A and B are shown apart, each in its own frame.
Chain A
Amino acid sequence: MDQAALSNVVSLAYSLPELVLGASVVALFLLDLVVKRKALLGDFALLALAIVVMLSARLLWSDSAALYNGAIVLDGFALFFKLLLSLAAFVTVWMSLGSREIQRSDTGEYWPILLASTLGMLFMASATNLLMAYLALEFVSLTSYVLSGFMRHSRRASEASLKYLIYGGVASGTMIYGMSWVYGLSGSLDFRAIHAALLASNGVSLPLFVALLLTLAGLGFKVAAFPFHMWAPDVYQGAPIPVTAFLSVGSKAAGFALMIRFFFTAMAEPAGAGVYQLVGGADWSKLLLVLSILTMTFGNLAAITQQANVKRLLAYSSIAHAGYMLMGFAVLTDDGLRAMLFYLTVYYLMNLGAFVVVMMVANSTGREDLAGYRGLAWRGGAVPAVAMAIFLFSLTGIPPFAGFVGKFYLFAAVVEKQLYLLAIVGVLNSVVSLVYYARIVRTMFLEQPIGGEGAVVVDWHNGVLLGLLTVGTLLLGFWGPLIEFAGRSTHFLSY
């Protein structure tokens, strides 16, 4: 469907979620000046995000449109991510309200910054212009630096924030340099115009390849793909637990959203029958295939060597999961994209769930190390221990949990393209990942408490969230409409 991009004023009607979110950020900053109990601000943020989720859901029934003279679009793909990201922010705010760390810091700026970060992510999901993409990504990065260093009195948090900032600065610098190459090669910042220019030209494959490689640095940084993952372990460990959860799901999803849209609309085109073909002669699918293998293998092998801190271990696990998801990217098919979107949804459930348990343990015992989980099931923490086991086995990819179905779709997309080697590497990685996930399960169930670990209390607030995520991990995998929704969301607006 060919249609012109809408003008700025008309576009506002399609941007209700972003408008509400932006207004809430401003309101929260102002409220912070007058409100004494900072938890009230959290409640306000929760309410705002609930409204954002509903407004985004309402847009599902509206037509796709190119907004703001083509700077961003509203299509099924963008909406999928808007829903996922605002839901991730919603869970993060819910978690933050139940987190001892956040309660102790008792600073009001936390909430508007979290919401601002979400706003940036929403723009990342719908940007169709390199400038817009860069601004959105930087906006998310800057807010993330602040969030990860939010425990001002913790040395580790400060270190994490600084590391994040330095790595992030280098990555985005590299990326914008790469983007300038893309601009030089195509003469435009608009994804559609870049695509057209690349189609018309030929013989730019090598410079284009370099440009993409440089651009990938920034995007790979956001999704924590090897070799741009270095920040992840330190930041995950140092940041407050809800922020870590938000980074591991939200940041990753937003990064993938931008990455997919850029590569699939500017650097490739549909070739019919659900298959994409490359444009411009630079074979980035092979590059991503290699990246996928390296990322999952590195993430899993590094996680095995991590014994001490569960948050750090989950950081390496999140690197590995970026690798699995890149498989769906590298196959260049609608089925691959669908599998990726589905996997992101499932990953959202199980990874956030795992962090909720980590937070519950930290709330009760103040510990994040593996020894703090010893005999968890036998000292009053049977519910979080069972939930954690479900999340971890789901992350491993064992049925009947949702993670298995997610991996099944990913591997199916890979086998469909007859990339058997990639499939074998992928499934062997799943086996490797069992080693460290099972280590946590073993500590919780097979070992007995030796005393002094402290009891784990399940409070109502976190318990409800844990219950919802557990039920989702148990049931949503085999729930047909979810994969159909993911399938419908792989269509990009072409205008």
Chain B
Amino acid sequence: MPTNVLTWMIFLPVLGAIVVLCLPRNADTLIKGVAAAFTVPPLLMAVWLFENFDRTTSDMQFVTKIPWIASFNIQYFIGVDGISITMILLTALLSFLCIFASWGITKATKAYFALFLVLDAAMMGVFCALDFFLFFVFWEVMLLPMYFLIGIWGGPRREYAAIKFFLYTMLGSVLMLVAMLALYFYTEPHTFDMLELAARSASYSSRFQSIAWIALFIGFAIKIPAFPFHTWLPDAHVEAPTAISVILAGVLLKMGTYGILRINYPILPAATLQYAFYLLVALGTWNIVYGALCAMAQTDFKKLIAYSSISHMGYVMFGMATLTTEGINGAVLQMFNHGTVTAMLFLLVGVIYDRAHHREINGFGGLAGIMPFYTGWTALAFFAAMGLPGLSAFISEILVLLGGWRNYPALTVVSASAVVLTAGYMLWTMQRIYLGKANEKYLELPDINGREIFTLVPLAVIVIVLGVYPRPVLDLINVSLVHLNDVVMGKASVALAAATRLVP
């Protein structure tokens, strides 16, 4: 198992999808059970990875490298380092939980769970791939299930949202394709191996780096989504079914920032240095403030959370752009924390939507008296999203701001004050939905049920534990990120010889 564990994590869900497709059409519970069963092994393997991951090295671990398409020197090359392992943990956990969050699906269950498992596999693949071509294939494969999941099981404007998501992401990825090919032909001998590309970064001319950086960045920025490429996100989120919103916000958005850290940073370090100091940091700050202001103006609960995601992803970009140990550690920690917190938020929106069939913030009121437990869970998630000390997001945001203070004191002040805006819209929403006079229509709403609580508990535990004791994640990521930061700052280079290790 040790060397193939990642391959299993990627392809078990594919196997699951095939099994699901072979089940009888009307056996709903069986289909859901089988789908759930196929997300358990990856989760256990993720825990095993967490246990056995060597935290003292920035090298790739659990590597598998097999030649694939010889004429283009393409390899099936996968492995993990500190940056990807957190994302793999997050993906495995959220995929597992989202099967349960999808328990209420009744329309074409077989297709839904098969597509969901394919999506799961593609996400795993993106985070494991170390060959650029392989990365690109997984990146694009992900679009297909997502398109159908939003388009078939989504809300009233699902068709529009689905195609908008598809077109935006594809627009970004084709630019990535051209940049990828340009990199391939720029290196001698031609290669798609990300580690080799990074090792040769010194040979890329600065003009080439700048152009390739921008092409790749647009592809990733659409996914984050960074202003001005963010407009697909609110639509997609509002229309997507609950579980898909969770995956979208929890995992897919992270792929944008992950891609920048995995590809732009090590492969094009000179351009990174050049762009991080104005473009990336400016976009990060703007995302924080703009997202928060937009969130404040929303009356749709889900749209509000969607805009808050844009705001919180701004912290990730800001942290990355600081190019300091604290900032970059904070950024990756924030990626993980946002994944858990925002997953909770979307699950909670789903709970109320399932009961009331609408999400108008002003259409509720006094839910605290009607659904006390639900209100309690929401309060926890809201406080986490606000970055309250003692909860996970506080640590990552403070690290990002600490890192930022050294290089950009003014922008740090702006970003830090956006926390007030976040608190503003979160508390205001709290007040409108949960406090005040109860809406007559909803007096009979049942409180949150066992299955819904089951999906929230693991996330809540993580949010609280990491809020008090963030070491488990920081230890995982720190060595890799310090090394990456040194590479960008020109203090270290990616040494090919030591870059791959087979077994921990």
Residues of A in contact with B (beta carbons under 8 Å apart): 378, 393, 398-400, 404, 408, 411-412, 415-416, 418, 420, 423-424, 427-428, 430-431, 434-435, 438, 442, 445-447, 478, 480, 483-484, 487
User: Given A445-B148, A478-B69, is A411 in contact with B178 using a C-beta cutoff of 8 Å?
Assistant: yes
List of B residues within 8 angstroms of A427 by Cβ: 174-175, 177-178
User: Given A427-B174, A480-B69, is A398 in contact with B152 using a C-beta cutoff of 8 Å?
Assistant: no
Q: Are B170 and A480 in contact (CB under 8 A)?
A: no
User: Given A480-B70, A483-B69, is A398 in contact with B140 using a C-beta cutoff of 8 Å?
Assistant: yes
Q: Does B71 contact A (CB under 8 A)?
A: yes
Type the 1/0 row for B125-138, where 1 means its CB is closer than 8 Å to any CB of A: 00000000000110
Q: Whole-angstrom distance between the alpha carbons of A424 and B141 in the complex?
A: 21
Chain B proximity of A102: nearest CB distance (Å) = 34
List of B residues within 8 angstroms of A424 by Cβ: 175, 178
B180 (CB) vs chain A CBs: closest residue: A415
User: Given A431-B171, A431-B174, is A442 in contact with B163 using a C-beta cutoff of 8 Å?
Assistant: yes
List of A residues within 8 angstroms of B503 by Cβ: none
List of A residues within 8 angstroms of B175 by Cβ: 424, 427
Q: Whole-angstrom distance between the alpha carbons of A415 and B180 in the complex?
A: 10
Q: Does B166 contact A (CB under 8 A)?
A: yes
Within 8 A of A (CB), among B143-170: 143-144, 147-148, 151-152, 158-159, 162-163, 166-167, 170
User: Which residue of the partner chain, among B72, B108, B137, B166, contacts A434 with CB atoms under 8 Å?
Assistant: B166
Q: Are A434 and B167 in contact (CB under 8 A)?
A: yes
Q: Whole-angstrom distance between the alpha carbons of A88 and B329 in the complex?
A: 57
Q: Are B152 and A445 in contact (CB under 8 A)?
A: yes
Q: Are A431 and B185 in contact (CB under 8 A)?
A: no
Within 8 A of A (CB), among B168-193: 170-171, 174-175, 177-178, 181-182, 184-185
Q: Whole-angstrom distance between the alpha carbons of A143 and B143 in the complex?
A: 43
Can you list 9 residue pairs at the A/B interface with Cβ under 8 Å?
A398-B140, A398-B141, A408-B177, A415-B185, A418-B185, A430-B170, A430-B174, A442-B163, A480-B71
User: Given A400-B141, A415-B185, A438-B166, is A445 in contact with B151 using a C-beta cutoff of 8 Å?
Assistant: yes
List of B residues within 8 angstroms of A431 by Cβ: 167, 170-171, 174
Most buried by A among B141, B143, B152, B181: B181
List of A residues within 8 angstroms of B68 by Cβ: 478
Q: Are B181 and A412 in contact (CB under 8 A)?
A: yes
Chain B proximity of A41: nearest CB distance (Å) = 40
User: Given A412-B181, A415-B182, is A483 in contact with B170 using a C-beta cutoff of 8 Å?
Assistant: no
B183 (CB) vs chain A CBs: closest residue: A415
Q: Are A446 and B159 in contact (CB under 8 A)?
A: yes
B175 (CB) vs chain A CBs: closest residue: A427
The 7 closest A-B pairs by CB, nearest first: A427-B174, A415-B181, A399-B137, A446-B151, A399-B140, A446-B159, A423-B178
Q: Whole-angstrom distance between the alpha carbons of A268 and B250 in the complex?
A: 55
A417 (CB) vs chain B CBs: closest residue: B185
List of A residues within 8 angstroms of B143 by Cβ: 398
Q: Whole-angstrom distance between the alpha carbons of A446 and B159 in the complex?
A: 7
Q: Are A398 and B144 in contact (CB under 8 A)?
A: yes
Q: Whole-angstrom distance between the alpha carbons of A423 and B171 in the complex?
A: 13
Chain B proximity of A139: nearest CB distance (Å) = 36
Q: Are A412 and B72 in contact (CB under 8 A)?
A: yes
List of B residues within 8 angstroms of A404 by Cβ: 137, 140
A442 (CB) vs chain B CBs: closest residue: B159
Q: Whole-angstrom distance between the alpha carbons of A416 and B181 in the complex?
A: 8
Counting contact residues on chain B (CB < 8 A from A), the size range is: 20 to 34
Given contacts A412-B181, A427-B177, A438-B166, 9 further A-B contacts (CB under 8 A): A378-B108, A398-B141, A412-B184, A430-B170, A431-B170, A434-B167, A435-B163, A442-B151, A478-B68
Chain B proximity of A83: nearest CB distance (Å) = 20
List of B residues within 8 angstroms of A478 by Cβ: 68-69
List of B residues within 8 angstroms of A398 by Cβ: 140-141, 143-144, 170
User: Which residue of the partner chain, among A416, A420, A428, A484, contacts B174 with CB atoms under 8 Å?
Assistant: A428
List of B residues within 8 angstroms of A480 by Cβ: 69-71
B168 (CB) vs chain A CBs: closest residue: A431
List of B residues within 8 angstroms of A483 by Cβ: 69, 71
List of B residues within 8 angstroms of A428 by Cβ: 171, 174
List of B residues within 8 angstroms of A438 by Cβ: 147, 163, 166
Q: Are B148 and A420 in contact (CB under 8 A)?
A: no
User: Given A393-B144, A399-B141, is A420 in contact with B151 using a C-beta cutoff of 8 Å?
Assistant: no
Chain A proximity of B234: nearest CB distance (Å) = 20
List of B residues within 8 angstroms of A393 by Cβ: 144
Q: Whole-angstrom distance between the alpha carbons of A442 and B165 in the complex?
A: 14
Chain A proximity of B249: nearest CB distance (Å) = 22
List of A residues within 8 angstroms of B185 by Cβ: 412, 415-416, 418
Q: Whole-angstrom distance between the alpha carbons of A478 and B74 in the complex?
A: 11
Q: Whole-angstrom distance between the alpha carbons of A427 and B159 in the complex?
A: 24
List of B residues within 8 angstroms of A447 by Cβ: 159
Q: Are B178 and A420 in contact (CB under 8 A)?
A: yes
Most buried by A among B147, B152, B184, B185: B147
Q: Whole-angstrom distance between the alpha carbons of A378 and B107 in the complex?
A: 11
List of A residues within 8 angstroms of B159 by Cβ: 442, 446-447
B151 (CB) vs chain A CBs: closest residue: A446
Q: Are B141 and A420 in contact (CB under 8 A)?
A: no
Q: Whole-angstrom distance between the alpha carbons of A408 and B177 in the complex?
A: 8
Q: Are A399 and B166 in contact (CB under 8 A)?
A: no
List of B residues within 8 angstroms of A423 by Cβ: 178, 181
Most buried by B among A393, A408, A411, A478: A408
Q: Whole-angstrom distance between the alpha carbons of A487 and B72 in the complex?
A: 12
Q: Whole-angstrom distance between the alpha carbons of A445 and B154 in the complex?
A: 13
Q: Whole-angstrom distance between the alpha carbons of A431 and B168 in the complex?
A: 9
Chain A proximity of B134: nearest CB distance (Å) = 10
List of B residues within 8 angstroms of A415 by Cβ: 178, 181-182, 184-185
Type the 1/0 row for B104-132, where 1 means its CB is closer than 8 Å to any CB of A: 00001000000000000000000000000
B72 (CB) vs chain A CBs: closest residue: A412
B215 (CB) vs chain A CBs: closest residue: A424
Q: Whole-angstrom distance between the alpha carbons of A445 and B153 in the complex?
A: 11
List of B residues within 8 angstroms of A418 by Cβ: 185
Chain B proximity of A24: nearest CB distance (Å) = 37
Chain A proximity of B168: nearest CB distance (Å) = 10
Type the 1/0 row for B50-88, where 1 means its CB is closer than 8 Å to any CB of A: 000000000000000000111110000000000000000
Q: Whole-angstrom distance between the alpha carbons of A442 and B162 in the complex?
A: 10
List of B residues within 8 angstroms of A442 by Cβ: 151, 159, 162-163
Q: Whole-angstrom distance between the alpha carbons of A480 and B76 in the complex?
A: 14
User: Given A400-B137, A480-B70, is A411 in contact with B181 using a C-beta cutoff of 8 Å?
Assistant: yes
Chain A proximity of B112: nearest CB distance (Å) = 12
Q: Whole-angstrom distance between the alpha carbons of A353 and B396 in the complex?
A: 51
Q: Whole-angstrom distance between the alpha carbons of A31 and B68 in the complex?
A: 51
Q: Are A446 and B162 in contact (CB under 8 A)?
A: yes
List of B residues within 8 angstroms of A378 by Cβ: 108
Q: Whole-angstrom distance between the alpha carbons of A428 and B70 in the complex?
A: 28
Chain A proximity of B36: nearest CB distance (Å) = 24
Most buried by B among A399, A408, A412: A399
Q: Whole-angstrom distance between the alpha carbons of A408 and B170 in the complex?
A: 14
User: Which residue of the partner chain, among A435, A446, A484, A487, contacts B167 with CB atoms under 8 Å?
Assistant: A435
List of B residues within 8 angstroms of A411 by Cβ: 177-178, 181
